[in-house]
Structure 1
Amino acid sequence: MSTISAQAALLPTFSEVQKAHRRSDVLILDRHGELIHELRVDKTGRRLEWTKLKDVSPALVKAVLQSEDRRFYEHGGVDWKAVGAALIDRFFGSKTRGASTISMQVAVMVQRGGRPLGHKTFRQKWDQMAAARELEKSWKKDEILEAYLNLVSFRSELQGIAAASRGLFGKEPSGLDLKESCTLAALIRSPNALPAVVGQRAALLAQSLSPGEPGEAYRRTAIDALSRPYRLRPYLALAPQVAKILTAGAGQGELSAQTINSTLDLRLQRFALQSLRQQLDLLQGRHVGNGAVLVVDNATGNILAYVGNSGDSQVDGIVAKRQAGSTLKPFLYGLALEKRLLTTASVLDDTPLHISTERGIYMPHDYDHRPRGPVTVRTALSASLNIPAVRTQLLVGTEPFADRLRRVGFDLRRSAEFYGFSLALGTADVSLKELVNAYRCIARGGIVSPLHLTPGHSGRTLRAMDPKVAYLVSDILSDPGSRSVTFGLDNPLTTRYWTAVKTGTSKDMRDNWCIGFSRRYTVGVWVGNLSGDPMWNVSGVSGAAPVWLEVMNYLHGNVRSAPPPRPRGVVAARVPAGHGEAERGELFLAGTEPPSVPAARPAGEAWHIARIAYPPDGTIIVIDPDIPEPNQRVFFETENEAPGLKWRLNGELLPPGEEGRRWAPRVGRYELALVDNGGKVQDAVSFEVRGQNQ
């Protein structure tokens, strides 16, 4: 085989070179194919996307051709005039001028992986000329020039015109002016020359392009650009922890894929991050510095938003282990219900408790240090009372409770004995990811399956809870009336659509959680300090809950969330008044309802609390003076209405029936409540009526 034939065999096509080009970073795409994060994985060089010649500034093309190959469009791969001039210079001992054409340099680049040879023997030079001539036969001139601009090194690790333009001048190659173009062209022959030397070369290049051109501006442009570290910022970097997970083990060209599809949603990810940062800004005076948000799709387990932390830290708050606080209580009460040791209406004693242990006397207390005496299981769980939770753990046993937690996905690395009776109050270290998936298990009727960051997974499923118990726990966590014992009716846990939610605060206020789900999504939020320092007077409602509410409202802007249907085996019955509660309806596992009271509803019919549909909470109503007063009415509307409900406005009951619903507005602030026959509040909203000029 001749030398020329051998060279031709080594040359790839332009298309092959273009396809083989690899960025030094990987693009993480969201579920819709939109860019959500860029992450560098190759440390050998800084390369960006392949740039087409039509997207390069004409000024740069002009400067590069003037500096490197003035007769590029005239020769066939070898500039014989330049070769002759170089030979004459060598013969007379003058400073040797370069004779390598752009085609010759590209021929070496594409054969040897992107870098031209250093000092070459005559034989090597001749082979390079032969390869360049063969290249010109199969490649177009513009293709050769385009490849050159994408493969050549400009400065330090900056390879290709896209990286050089963005890194040194913060702009795309199409926007380069002549001064910037001369700087980049001057770098090609000596990429790591001193800024002053490059500046001088840039000035001389400008003068060769336009005789008489003053060179000071060109020198200054080069010196300014090269005297500071280059800055190559990613277009988008919204999911650093996800990018790290999806590219784990990649580097030095190991990752062949230039893009990775994820399950994330770009807009939701951005909204969750912004909501978290805004809440942390509001908490600045309370020594709260960090947070994390995780959003998953209940049906698929796909992770839709993964905000590992609120700042630049590399710590991943989604998987970091923290004390769980009260977030484990639903699984404790669920186990007690499943074992039929308790019902939702069982009464627990919320008074001081003293338990003898090997370590001394254990004395749990409620968050507000106000024991409430006898309370029902529904109130104890929804109001997050601590003493009843410990009493419940005494009933079910610590070991069975720990086993239940492991079954729903918590990685408890210590024995049940290590945690003791404080396990009910969340002394175990858990992650936000574990919490969210465990609550998703409740939302799915007791089914556990893995969470996913990449599409197309199904995963192994496991029955971890009785579906009837999961329904009862969901119903309790969605009950704003029972929750009001601790949190009041006006709190960030109450939504205008069906959700079930729980907060938790660890010992010394080091960790603050809010985990909850709707029919379609589960959202978990943690706030605290990555350092482990305690916060100052921050509870679940004031810390994590506002972010949870913002994200949930975003998710359900156009998506309804109705209560889940009641499964067979769950019955409704009336519970007589007692222990500070009026006669009410309650849900039971079939066979555990009060024997003297028949089930009130047929199996399969949903049981849930009525809600106010209009006016929405926070509504502002303006009286119109042009409308006759008798014609101005506000119609109070309900959702899921049950018999016997009444309206109460600013503490006063309104007339029953249609008369009470049609209310004549008067200027002022109002609290509207929907109450049952026993006076128990089912739902409440606040609204304001203003005059025309207010």
Structure 2
Amino acid sequence: MKKIIKLLLVFTIFFCVLILGLYIWAWGQVVPSYEQVVRQTQSSSIQIVDRRGEPLIAIRDDFQQRKVPWTKLEAYSPTLHQMVLQSEDKRFYQHHGVDWFAWLGAVKDKLFSSTSRGASTITMQLVGILLPELQRQGKQRSYWQKIQQIAYAIRLEQTWSKEQILEAYLNLVPLRGEVVGMASGAKAFFQKYSYALNQKESALLVAMLKAPNAKINTLVNRTCLLIRPNSCDYLDVFVNNAVSYLHGTFVDEAKEGSHFARAFLKHYLSSIHTTDKTLKSTIDKQLQQFVSERIRTRLMDLFQEQISDAAVVVLDNATGEILAYVGSSGSLSSAQEVDHAQALRQAGSTLKPFLYAQAFDKKYLTAASLLNDSALSIAVDTGLYIPQNYDKGFKGWVSIRKALASSLNIPAVQTLTMLGAESFRNTLVRLGLPLSEEGDFYGYSLALGSADITLLSLTNAYRSLANQGYYTPIKWLSDREENRRITKRVGDNSSAVEVVQDTQGEQVFSPQSAWIIQSILSDRQARALTFGLDSALSTPFDTAVKTGTSKDMRDNWTVGWSSRYTVGVWVGNSAGHSMRNISGVSGAAPIWHDVMQYLHQETPSVFVPMPKGVVVEQIEYKPAIEPSRKEYFIEGTQQQSIRLVSSIAASQEGVGMISMPTDGTIIALDPDIPAENQQLRLEARMVNQQLSKQIQWVLNGKAVSQSNPAYIPLQAGSFKLELLSLSGEKLDEVHFQVRGIR
């Protein structure tokens, strides 16, 4: 008995000396501070916030683990606190890093029993996570690592508070698979925030601590032990549903806003050398959410018209900052991953404002100039280019104001013949539009939007019109972030050189021509010819807007600006299928209208006054093609009277112009059809769609008919067809060829 007492005394003395030695040794150990750990603990995703700091979206960039940003202790549910302490460290608030009672019990079980139990406190587990030298070698730590673990745990308790230790443990503890931290587990397995965890959910997360990747039956048993005496019925179903499905993806990026996030990160990370995990964007979260909701609502209304996708971009006129960027319709889209804000699509009529602005600056045309919206054919290398209007009809002689506002095609092509395709193409490139080919590649169809452009670049090009013709690049970053911008780093980290990107703009159009274009595109009367007075293009405040529809109704655009914002909308289908019965005013325009109304629900839009260099004249047309009105001119181009040439004026008195055949037509006779059954239709059309009756046709100098339309037999050869008045005055002339059998 005395020997046993002596042995216990010796052991006690040894144990006390050991503890004292460990505490003394612990004083000399260096552990990271709480602040260092918080600062160095990175989320597995980059967090993008909006312009006010509101969370917008997270994009995963660490594929070794799934972890949400650091979560404060008070953001975890009390139930989780209780269960963690119950399972891992019952005397957490009583010990100073090491639970010596639990340690002695573990030693006793090791020496005198076949069972074993753990004695690691939460503090000891935390230092095992924080310090690389304490990482397990295989399944267990070595004895030397365990001794170090005790010393570091004692030291950590001397420098950290209990709350800091528990908070760090909850943030850093590994769970099942790649998931790290209880807040990440709440999101991954239950799609909840950590403060909303109930008893059963908390118990399952705690059950993972001892062996995160244990079999489901083991997790069920451990969870049941934690929630007793409550019922464990159907716990196997609950655990299986929580851990078997790939819920880890819920920690990664959300679909909503992912298109903007990817584009933003690509721009940001290529421009700025940073390790920040929280990046501030220019997006307005509330506006972004509103735009997404309106896209879905409007597309549901257009479901029968075979439209499934849309994209919207909203820019701040003054800064160029992106306020909203929605790349698709989300779940309504057949290809949600496609970012239609930056997908190349045919421009349709959206390029016409730039065409006329250039013509105004070159003083080739004014807003009062007349062009003939009638059948047109232009000889090109491949044959004849014959443009048509959207409604397949013609409006006759119209002013540029009416031609642009009502989006007529023939006048636009005629304007491009004055400017040249290459010159116009170069202007579009200066506006940031991604035209990769030379002007000859697009030809005269460039006036009607044959080039592929992106919604983002097009919207910013329109912003230049809102800014008096001055183009600047889009801003992905706020002014504060822009100051940190780096486009090139030279040398190593210690001698890095920052080169700030030049974002200086360019005056593409004069303020005068840009203002006149704004006047035209905000003129309800001028666009009534095509769109009527009451349409989605009309707003109760100052806006200028243009629509566009590409070939076969594959793309539908509406782009316009107010005094503060430029909004671009595209609707269509990801696969490029044609839409039904849709134009710019019925497809994209309602979304544009909704967004503009939202932006100006409290702040009115009032355009800036007329700039210097623009003059106002009261104009009169002779004959009265259009009513007399006030019109705006670049100084030096003003007129008061616009008069048609004499032969055309005669047509106003009852004489027409040739609409069929068009000049340069080549006709091939069909050898399988009897020659007498092959005839050519001759037709003269009055200006403004009134048919002429008082004319005569002359073919190669020989009068052939006074009918309109008239039909003449075809025969091979080259022909000159003249249109004369009954008095003999020549009104028009075309040339054509007939090839084939004689």
TM-score, normalized by length of structure 2? 0.75
Give 2:475's aligned residue.
452
Give 2:635's aligned residue.
590
2:310 pairs, out of 291, 295, 301, with 291
Give 2:696's aligned residue.
none
Give 2:168's aligned residue.
147
Give 1:246's aligned residue.
264
CA apart distance, 1:217: 5.7
* CA radius of gyration, larger in: 2
Contact kept, 8 Å, 1:36 with 1:236, in 2: the verdict is no
Greater shift in the superposed pair: 413-422 or 81-90: 81-90
CA apart distance, 1:434: 1.5
Flag the 1:414–1:235 CA change in 2: closer, same or farther, 3 A: closer
CA apart distance, 1:43: 1.9
**Secondary structure at the counterpart of residue 493 of structure 1:** coil
CA apart distance, 1:214: 5.2
1:569 equivalenced with 2:590 (yes/no): no
Contact kept, 8 Å, 2:26 with 2:155, in 1: the verdict is no
Q: Deviations over 1:203-229 (max 9, x none)?
A: 23445xx5xx65446555434433433
Q: Tell me the amino acid that sits aligned with residue 605 of structure 2.
A: S
Q: Deviations over 1:412-441 (max 9, x none)?
A: 100111101101110011111111111111
Trace 1:672-687 onto structure 2 (pairs within 5 A). none
Q: Distance in 2 between matches of 1:239 and 1:387?
A: 40
Q: Tell me the amino acid that sits aligned with residue 117 of structure 2.
A: R
CA apart distance, 1:250: 6.8
Q: Distance in 1 between matches of 2:114 and 2:27?
A: 32
Q: Distance in 2 between matches of 1:401 and 1:592?
A: 21
CA apart distance, 1:66: 2.7
Q: Tell me the amino acid that sits aligned with residue 77 of structure 1.
A: G
Q: Deviations over 1:169-224 (max 9, x none)?
A: 333333333333322222101101111111112223445xx5xx654465554344
Q: Tell me the amino acid that sits aligned with residue 314 of structure 2.
A: V
**Secondary structure at the counterpart of residue 615 of structure 2:** strand
Trace 1:608-687 onto structure 2 (pairs within 5 A). none
**Secondary structure at the counterpart of residue 522 of structure 1:** strand
Greater shift in the superposed pair: 26-35 or 359-368: 26-35
CA apart distance, 1:383: 0.8
Q: Distance in 1 between matches of 2:204 and 2:341?
A: 46
1:433 equivalenced with 2:459 (yes/no): no
Q: Distance in 1 between matches of 2:624 and 2:404?
A: 16
Q: Distance in 2 between matches of 1:177 and 1:334?
A: 64
Q: Tell me the amino acid that sits aligned with residue 506 of structure 1.
A: S
CA apart distance, 1:327: 0.6
CA apart distance, 1:445: 1.0
2:148 pairs, out of 127, 135, 139, with 127
Q: Tell me the amino acid that sits aligned with residue 257 of structure 2.
A: A
Give 2:342's aligned residue.
319
Contact kept, 8 Å, 1:475 with 1:500, in 2: the verdict is yes
Structure 1 portions without partners, runs of 5+: 598-694
Give 2:53's aligned residue.
33
Contact kept, 8 Å, 1:203 with 1:219, in 2: the verdict is no
Greater shift in the superposed pair: 298-307 or 572-581: 572-581
Structure 2 portions without partners, runs of 5+: 1-20, 484-502, 643-742
Q: Tell me the amino acid that sits aligned with residue 176 of structure 1.
A: L
Q: Distance in 2 between matches of 1:172 and 1:7?
A: 38
Q: Distance in 1 between matches of 2:626 and 2:269?
A: 61
Q: Distance in 1 between matches of 2:513 and 2:213?
A: 69
Flag the 1:332–1:223 CA change in 2: closer, same or farther, 3 A: closer
Give 1:662's aligned residue.
none
Contact kept, 8 Å, 1:327 with 1:503, in 2: the verdict is yes
Contact kept, 8 Å, 1:180 with 1:221, in 2: the verdict is no
CA apart distance, 1:48: 1.8
Q: Deviations over 1:86-126 (max 9, x none)?
A: 33433356133222222211112122299666412111111
Give 1:481's aligned residue.
525
Q: Distance in 1 between matches of 2:269 and 2:637?
A: 57
**Secondary structure at the counterpart of residue 427 of structure 2:** helix
Q: Distance in 1 between matches of 2:366 and 2:436?
A: 31
Flag the 1:234–1:558 CA change in 2: closer, same or farther, 3 A: farther
Q: Distance in 2 between matches of 1:523 and 1:576?
A: 35
Figure out how many residues of one structure are paired with residues of the other and give that number. Answer: 590
**Secondary structure at the counterpart of residue 582 of structure 2:** coil
Flag the 1:258–1:115 CA change in 2: closer, same or farther, 3 A: farther
Q: Distance in 1 between matches of 2:133 and 2:412?
A: 66
Q: Tell me the amino acid that sits aligned with residue 600 of structure 2.
A: H
Give identity over the alignment, percent.
43
Q: Tell me the amino acid that sits aligned with residue 288 of structure 2.
A: Q
TM-score, normalized by length of structure 1? 0.80
1:187 equivalenced with 2:208 (yes/no): yes
Give 2:626's aligned residue.
581
Give 1:624's aligned residue.
none
1:268 equivalenced with 2:287 (yes/no): yes
Give 2:196's aligned residue.
175
Give 1:110's aligned residue.
130
1:519 pairs, out of 563, 566, 582, with 563
Give 1:59's aligned residue.
79
Contact kept, 8 Å, 2:58 with 2:254, in 1: the verdict is yes
Q: Deviations over 1:226-284 (max 9, x none)?
A: 34332636897642222112333979xx9632321111111211111111111111111
Greater shift in the superposed pair: 77-86 or 21-30: 77-86
Q: Distance in 1 between matches of 2:359 and 2:150?
A: 84
Q: Deviations over 1:306-350 (max 9, x none)?
A: 111111512211111111100111111112121111121111111
Greater shift in the superposed pair: 286-295 or 93-102: 93-102
Q: Distance in 2 between matches of 1:74 and 1:302?
A: 55
CA apart distance, 1:504: 0.5
Q: Tell me the amino acid that sits aligned with residue 387 of structure 2.
A: P
Q: Tell me the amino acid that sits aligned with residue 366 of structure 2.
A: T
Q: Deviations over 1:535-573 (max 9, x none)?
A: 122111111011111111111112222233112221111
Contact kept, 8 Å, 2:68 with 2:251, in 1: the verdict is no
1:222 pairs, out of 239, 242, 245, with 239
Contact kept, 8 Å, 1:292 with 1:317, in 2: the verdict is yes
Contact kept, 8 Å, 2:134 with 2:145, in 1: the verdict is no
2:297 pairs, out of 278, 286, 290, with 278
1:138 pairs, out of 128, 151, 159, with 159
**Secondary structure at the counterpart of residue 158 of structure 1:** coil
1:97 pairs, out of 101, 107, 117, with 117
**Secondary structure at the counterpart of residue 587 of structure 1:** strand
Give 2:225's aligned residue.
204
Flag the 1:423–1:115 CA change in 2: closer, same or farther, 3 A: farther
